[in-house]
């Protein structure tokens, strides 16, 4: 029974491995996807054998499917619940017993990177901002960031919003990043170092400026070069494929550091109250400066107020502004939860 990339949901298998083995286009037996490249599950056995090597058999613990779903967000297709995923994994290994065994991550998966980052960010905020004593493994962090380079085609159009003051719509020249002297601290940029913040849709762009009901907003379109190297911090567990790595040791190290990468994404996404922004933005500003020093052009991250994507470009002039349109805010939605 053939399977497809949609069953597993891994980017490397989808882009590099399955096309090499596939000689048929059709409907997948496992997830029901249509008009997809099909492969024999056993063609993927070698890759899954290496990955499964970072999990140690134990009397307790979880099944491999449960670990793969939790650690790497595999089998996330709507039809790939535990039973279907178990059947596929059994067919990949050609072993019905392996799906009934219990496993636990091996000791090779242990990492101190997250704990070091937490110590470092607290020191940046409250102790030593410019000469911190906590040592980060810069080489390791850069290696991890390199796994998060956005490789898919970028959208043609991005958006930036500003509040309209008075009756006059802002001109395109006034819709870019502020000049250095007027650049205040932001989620990604330190004060005095302007970045260009863009959103993937109009609603998210407007939401990011926190307007009030009834206010007029101006939204400009921007185009960015397709060759930009952006670090994608939206969903590290989904973005990074363990199959990219060649051996169990490096995969285990990645599994140990994946939570650290998720925390980096949270630095740019978590809501920050205006009265504490000057302090709480410092770790994400440091992170972006670190990324910039390694030659990347910006970061991509989830919006905390909209359903779209945000990017912060380190070189504002790399984007080209287009037309400006005016939009009235008709409603602002507030969600609450018990504290």
Q: 143, 149 in Cβ contact below 8 A?
A: no
Stretch among 46-50, 285-289, 313-317, 334-338 having the lowest mean pLDDT = 334-338
Is the pLDDT at 325 greater than 90? The verdict is yes
Is the pLDDT at 307 greater than 90? The verdict is no
Q: Is 78 among the domain residues?
A: yes
* Token pair 């390694």 in the structure block, residue: 294
Q: Is 198 among the domain residues?
A: yes
Question: Of 72, 105, 138, at which residue does a domain stop?
Answer: 105
Strands 298-302 and 158-163: unpaired
pLDDT of res. 286:
96
Same domain, residue pair 213 and 309: yes
Q: H-helix or E-strand containing 221? A: strand 216-223
Same domain, residue pair 152 and 217: yes
Encode pLDDT of 3-21 as tens digits: 999 999 999 999 999 999 9
Q: Is 258 among the domain residues?
A: yes
Give the separation between CA 74 and CA 78, rounded to whole angstroms.
11
Q: H-helix or E-strand containing 231? A: strand 230-232
Q: Is 128 among the domain residues?
A: no
280-to-129, 182, 285 alpha-carbon distances in Å = 12, 20, 9
Q: What is the DSSP letter of 62?
A: B
Same domain, residue pair 180 and 319: yes
State the pLDDT confidence band at 54, using cuts at 50, 70 and 90.
very high
Encode pLDDT of 254-302 as tens digits: 999 999 999 999 999 988 888 889 999 999 999 999 999 999 999 999 9
For 141, counting Cβ atoms within 10 Å of its Cβ (0-12 exposed, 13-18 middle, 19+ buried), the class is buried
Q: Is 23 among the domain residues?
A: yes
Strands 196-199 and 309-313: antiparallel
* Token pair 């959103």 in the structure block, residue: 199
For 254, counting Cβ atoms within 10 Å of its Cβ (0-12 exposed, 13-18 middle, 19+ buried), the class is buried
Same domain, residue pair 305 and 157: yes
Average pLDDT, integer, range 178-196:
94
Same domain, residue pair 195 and 307: yes
pLDDT of res. 273:
83
Same domain, residue pair 95 and 175: no
Same domain, residue pair 88 and 205: no
Q: 255, 105 in Cβ contact below 8 A?
A: yes
Same domain, residue pair 53 and 152: no
pTM: 0.90
Strands 230-232 and 298-302: parallel
| Domain span at 253 | 146-328
Name the domain count of the chain: 2
Is the pLDDT at 333 greater than 90? The verdict is no
Q: Is 116 among the domain residues?
A: no
Q: Is 44 among the domain residues?
A: yes
Q: What is the DSSP letter of 147?
A: T
Average pLDDT, integer, range 94-103:
95
Is the pLDDT at 338 greater than 90? The verdict is no
pLDDT of res. 186:
92
For 264, counting Cβ atoms within 10 Å of its Cβ (0-12 exposed, 13-18 middle, 19+ buried), the class is buried
Stretch among 36-40, 169-173, 333-337 having the lowest mean pLDDT = 333-337
Q: Is 56 among the domain residues?
A: yes
Same domain, residue pair 231 and 308: yes
Average pLDDT, integer, range 208-216:
93
Same domain, residue pair 79 and 211: no
Is the pLDDT at 339 greater than 80? The verdict is no
Q: At what angle do helices 64-72 and 82-93 cross, to 10 degrees?
A: 110
Is the pLDDT at 306 greater than 90? The verdict is no
Same domain, residue pair 160 and 49: no
Same domain, residue pair 94 and 202: no
């Amino acid at each position: 029974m053939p399977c497809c990339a949609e069953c597993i949901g891994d980017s490397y298998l989808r882009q590099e491995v399955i096309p090499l083995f596939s000689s048929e286009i059709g409907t997948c037996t496992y997830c029901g996807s249509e008009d997809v490249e099909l492969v024999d599950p056993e063609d993927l056995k070698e890759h899954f054998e290496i990955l499964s090597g970072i999990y140690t058999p134990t009397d307790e613990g979880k099944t491999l499917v449960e670990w793969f779903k939790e650690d790497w967000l595999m089998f996330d297709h709507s039809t790939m619940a535990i039973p279907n995923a178990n059947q596929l994994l059994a067919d990949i290994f050609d072993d019905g017993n392996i799906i009934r065994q219990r496993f636990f991550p091996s000791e090779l998966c242990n990492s101190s990177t997250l704990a070091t980052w937490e110590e470092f960010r607290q020191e940046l905020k409250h102790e030593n901002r410019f000469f911190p004593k906590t040592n980060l493994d810069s080489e390791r962090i850069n290696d991890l960031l390199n796994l998060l380079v956005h490789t898919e085609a970028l959208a043609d159009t991005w958006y930036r919003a500003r509040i309209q003051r008075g009756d006059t719509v802002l001109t395109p020249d006034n819709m870019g990043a502020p000049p250095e002297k007027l650049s205040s601290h932001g989620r990604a940029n330190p004060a005095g170092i302007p970045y260009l913040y863009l959103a993937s849709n109009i609603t998210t762009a407007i939401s990011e400026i926190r307007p009030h009901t009834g206010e007029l907003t101006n939204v400009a379109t921007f185009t960015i070069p397709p060759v930009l190297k952006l670090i994608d911090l939206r969903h590290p567990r989904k973005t990074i494929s363990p199959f990219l790595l060649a051996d169990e040791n490096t995969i285990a190290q990645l599994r140990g550091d994946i939570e650290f990468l998720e925390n980096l994404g949270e630095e740019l996404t978590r809501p920050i109250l205006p009265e504490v922004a000057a302090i709480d933005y410092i770790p994400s500003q440091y992170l972006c400066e670190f990324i910039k020093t390694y030659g990347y052009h910006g970061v991509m991250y989830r919006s905390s107020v909209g359903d779209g994507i945000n990017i912060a470009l380190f070189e504002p002039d790399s984007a080209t502004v287009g037309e400006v349109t005016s939009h009235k805010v008709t409603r602002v939605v507030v969600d609450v939860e018990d504290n």
